[in-house]
Structure 1
Amino acid sequence: MSIDENTLGVPRHRRAARGLPTSSTGARSLRQAQQAGATLGTGYLGMGAAAVTALQAIYGLIFFLVHLSAYPVAAPAIVAWLIYLAVFIGVVTLVAIQGERLTGTVMIVVCAALAVVVVLDFVAIWPLHNVGAYATASISVGFGLLPLITLRPARELVIATSVLFVMFVVAVILTTPITPKTFPQQVSMIGLAILPATIAIFAVQGFRRMIQIELDRVLVQSNVSQPRFAVGMLASDELARLDLAAEKLLDGVATGDVPLPLEPQVASTAASLATELRLHLIEGRRETWLYHAVTESEYLGRAVKLADPSSLAGLLTPEQRDGLLQAVWLLLGDRRTRAAGVSVTLTLGPVVQSNSIASMAGRTVEVPIDVTTTGIRRNRVTPATWSALQRVGDYSTSSQDGSLRLAIRCSVENPADS
């Protein structure tokens, strides 16, 4: 039996370290959001960046032509501009033809060409001994990195921007006398070349992080409307695979392609399919929407622990489920603001009787939900979190080891009356 087969000898899905299986629909959606060339809105950012780059190139080219007479030898600067314009037009054309993808080889060629542009521009202005006053094509290179930010990983752009910064600093030190008059000009020039790409890198990374979190939340939110016991996205993918395999087997028997009686290998496969289907049916009677929301989330699965031995989460109404899920999300915060060691533990049950008339009449029961946190102080909880908790039920707060602890009393319909 290979490592990619379960104990029944049936191929199994390769599962990620946390969250969804790598072959599931949800995992594919999250991977798409994480890709450098993902089209979840970053394409529009790339178009805007290309427009800004084009406008700056026009300004820089006009500035160069106006001061062309000041260059002792203008040929290197002219060649630099021709190379830069060719690279910019080439990248735009390539993206328009192939889509929002830029291979590593093309990225290396583009960066090498841009480095040549910077060197040629510095060679042209070297005799002028004032990089800040006459640099043109080299400054445009910094803006030329903007469209690449949505096409390549951030680390590559950080490296390219850092190399450009070092080249400018070295050129200024070697060619320009630093005086109170020239120093501000050099700093402004370096900032103009470096800051746009640097700010854009952080902005795009923040946008991608927001998309990933919101996409994960949408996938998790789909569990709210499920029945008390249900299968999640992992089981859905598994059931789809088993259904296809069973359909092929039965179709083969019906058409005569699979002769009867079944051969031992085919019979073993059929028995494995039947066993796995029974296992999924059994699992479907134990796992609730909250279990799937936590275990299948790339975000919640890292910081939330669930203890619900009686599967009481399935008794909550959709409004209560939505409030509980939203409260957990807000308690954790996003990845950027979440401190190390922050976690939430949800403990549901056992069922108790409340003092309400409906409870004493047996129409409702009370499900206690104990929320224990680590690294979350009460004064850091947002008002939206309290509003979400009110939709779940009555709650009381306390502190345990400096962290917030919540005791929620959730009134639900008595399952015995259902």
Structure 2
Amino acid sequence: MSPLSDTAPIDTVRTRGVGARLLGGPDERSWPTSSAGQTTRAALSPLRFPRSSLRGDGHFTVFRSDQNGLGARHLGIGMSISAAVIAVFLAVRLVVEWDQAPTPTLSIVAWLLLAAIAVGVNLAVHELSSRMPMWLFLLALGLCAIVVALDLAGSMGIPGTAAFPTAAPAVGAFLLTIATLRESRDITLAALALGVIMGAATLLEARSDVLTLGPDILGVTLAVVPPVVGASIVQAFRRMVQRELDLVLVQSTVSQPRFAVGMLASEQLARLDLDAETLLDDVAQGRTALPLAASTATTAASLATQLRVHLIEGRTETWLHHAITESEFLGPVVALSDPAGLAGLLSPTQREGLLLTIWLLIGDTQRSGASVSLRFGPIAPTRGVGLQHQVRFPIQLTTTGVSRRRVDPETWQAICAVGPHMDSNWAGSLRVDIECSVDNPADA
């Protein structure tokens, strides 16, 4: 089966059957998986503004990065080095205070257990392909709780000593090493719980001199601050990468026809097409006997139904509609009103300029509550010689929570690529009226 000419380019296919899975049931395929059409992925090069005009080629596939991929591995190495420095400092502190600790043997046992936890988790994560499941995380936290209890028991007891826990703060360093393997929320909650336990032990400890409180405060700080800061850095990094990937995927819609199916629908259509080709090839080669078995016939009917649905749906939705609705960041904050599908008439340069304008207006993560509303049309009458081959219509862009003085200069350059404009600022929000002129599709 050949790709339809009036749909968006389909460049990514997969070998796994999805006909039955799209219908919500298990895979009912009775034919072997075809080796033809292996998965292909174009290199995803994150784009950062300002840059020259974006060039989307539609060779991208939708996926979500794993917790330790897309550069986070290098970030994890840096955090592990930082955690090692903290651990060495605390270990040296234990050696210096060996004579002052009430029960140094318990602290030594706590350190040995913590080292075993670190090595064991590292080996387990390596075997699990750089992933740390919840059961492993909870097991590590349970063992770390034993480390904290042993170290606190070994460092508390004699009033007036300057000894303070060392293995317990090192648990915070361990949390820092796994910050890229778990959600930032999990690391933050674990670090705060560690701080609460150590803080409570500090307040309950009998002391003859208030100055001895300083080393304990340092221990609590070393236990809480590094993992919390590391978790916030990892969270910001993940959000940045997801935004860049989202931008690349959204940009691929610029080259679509005026009316076409979206990115996700194109991928589904490619999968259905591959499943149908595999079934027909198996029948032609004799691998699947005729008449078809009941399960195979049901799967074939499902594939046919899904293909017919794709043939008739989505023919009134423009590239801009798909770019907004299929974007994780644009969808919740951008409202589009384009009943006539005028966005599909824009030239590639105008499309890039409009998409870049929207992205820059809401791209600043510090602007909480910012939103953009777009209204296209109606088509204005054309008068004068030489204007009959042009279609003119207004584009009204209204923002909420974005003032004119905070708009980046690159935004105005992108707006100029769409057409002449007039802007106004009212109640702290920006409104831009763009007069857009495009080639008359009737002359094509």
Which TM-score bucket, shorter chain as reference? 0.7 to 0.9
Q: CA deviation at 1:278?
A: 4.8
Q: CA deviation at 1:59?
A: 2.6
CA distance in 1, matches of 2:297, 2:103: 83
Select which of 288, 313, 322 maps to 2:318. 288
Q: CA deviation at 1:353?
A: 4.9
The answer (yes or no) to whether the contact 1:368–1:407 under 8 Å persists in 2 is: yes
The answer (yes or no) to whether the contact 2:165–2:216 under 8 Å persists in 1 is: no
1:194 equivalent to 2:224? Answer yes
Q: 1:267 to 1:116 in 2, by over 3 A?
A: closer
Q: CA deviation at 1:364?
A: 2.8
Select which of 388, 400, 412 maps to 2:414. 388
1:63-142 alignment, distance < 5 Å = 63-129=93-159, 133-142=163-172
Q: CA deviation at 1:245?
A: 4.4
SS state of the match for residue 388, structure 2?
coil
The aligned residue for residue 373 of structure 2 is: 345
SS state of the match for residue 178, structure 2?
helix
Select which of 315, 329, 334 maps to 2:345. 315
Q: 1:268 to 1:189 in 2, by over 3 A?
A: closer
1:18-417 alignment, distance < 5 Å = 29-30=63-64, 32=65, 35=66, 37-129=67-159, 133-177=163-207, 181-248=211-278, 250-251=280-281, 254-255=284-285, 257=288, 259=290, 276-283=306-313, 285-334=315-364, 336-340=365-369, 342-353=370-381, 360-399=386-425, 403-417=429-443
CA distance in 1, matches of 2:349, 2:117: 55
Q: CA deviation at 1:176?
A: 4.8
CA distance in 2, matches of 1:280, 1:104: 39
CA distance in 1, matches of 2:20, 2:77: 47
Aligned length: 391
The answer (yes or no) to whether the contact 1:317–1:412 under 8 Å persists in 2 is: yes
CA distance in 2, matches of 1:415, 1:401: 39
- Please give the per-residue CA displacement for 1:10-31, whole angstroms capped at 9, x wherever unaligned: 87467xxxxxxxxxx989623x
Between the two structures, name the one with larger relative contact order (CA 8 Å, sep ≥ 6): 2
The answer (yes or no) to whether the contact 1:81–1:137 under 8 Å persists in 2 is: yes
Q: CA deviation at 1:382?
A: 2.8
Q: 1:250 to 1:84 in 2, by over 3 A?
A: closer
CA distance in 2, matches of 1:307, 1:378: 23
SS state of the match for residue 222, structure 1?
helix
The aligned residue for residue 18 of structure 1 is: none
Q: CA deviation at 1:276?
A: 4.9
Paired letter, 2:368:
A
CA distance in 2, matches of 1:123, 1:10: 59
Q: CA deviation at 1:143?
A: 1.0
Paired letter, 1:300:
L
CA distance in 2, matches of 1:80, 1:11: 50
CA distance in 1, matches of 2:293, 2:86: 72
Q: 1:155 to 1:13 in 2, by over 3 A?
A: farther
The answer (yes or no) to whether the contact 1:130–1:175 under 8 Å persists in 2 is: no
The answer (yes or no) to whether the contact 1:327–1:385 under 8 Å persists in 2 is: yes
Paired letter, 1:29:
F
TM-score, scaled to structure 2: 0.78
SS state of the match for residue 172, structure 2?
helix
- Please give the per-residue CA displacement for 1:104-155, whole angstroms capped at 9, x wherever unaligned: 2221221122121122111112124468743211221111110121112222
- In structure 1, runs of 5+ residues without a counterpart are 1-8, 15-24
Q: CA deviation at 1:285?
A: 3.9
With 189-198 and 362-371 compared, the bigger mean Cα shift is at 362-371
Q: 1:319 to 1:123 in 2, by over 3 A?
A: same
CA distance in 1, matches of 2:350, 2:406: 23
Q: 1:199 to 1:272 in 2, by over 3 A?
A: closer
TM-score, scaled to structure 1: 0.82
Q: CA deviation at 1:392?
A: 1.4
SS state of the match for residue 331, structure 1?
helix
Q: CA deviation at 1:237?
A: 2.5
SS state of the match for residue 69, structure 1?
coil
CA distance in 1, matches of 2:296, 2:201: 73
Q: 1:244 to 1:87 in 2, by over 3 A?
A: same
The answer (yes or no) to whether the contact 2:191–2:223 under 8 Å persists in 1 is: no
Paired letter, 2:372:
V
